[in-house]
Amino acid sequence: MTDMTPDETSCRYKCGALPDCAPLAVGLVPPQGDAAPSYAPPKALARGTLFPGLDLPLGNVVNSGTADIPTAELMAIDFAAHDLSLYLDTHPDDTEAFETYKDLLRLAKEGMERYTRLYGPVCKIQLAESQRFNWLKGPWPWEYAGKREG
């Protein structure tokens, strides 16, 4: 290593190479662009994202649609709540979004309680109050009819 400082051009810190004088790590999160285009709600739920630009299925295997299973409502509410929580991570002062988030959390709690009464526990922690081990017998929530893309 030479006696040059990192701001000298010979350090090449702006040239894309990682010289000896580079910092340990530099994080960069590019800002998300315009929200358009976006999937329609049923397709977004099946694909796991609202934004086509973020739709990168593992092994090109995708869900062909939302299944008509009892957990579909819970999955939809959870999907919306999770996306809204990601938005709130970067917009914590958006009071309207926070109120909507709290509404979704209440809906999720009510839906979970209703589902548990009808079908059994959704989360293993719910077994703490059960009289017997009655974990989900099937179908599992991710058991959709999948197809390959591309």
pTM of the model: 0.53
Lowest mean pLDDT among 13-27, 46-60, 111-125: 13-27
Q: Does the bond joining 139 to the residue before it have cis omega, within 30 degrees of 0?
A: yes
Alpha-carbon distance 67 to 65, whole Å? 6
CA angle, 18 then 20 then 23, to 5°: 70
Span 72-99, average pLDDT: 90
Amino acid present at 78: D
Lowest mean pLDDT among 2-11, 87-96, 111-120, 131-140: 2-11
Name the more confident of 127 and 85.
Answer: 85
Quote the tokens at residue 20. 């000896």
Alpha-carbon distance 76 to 107, whole Å? 11
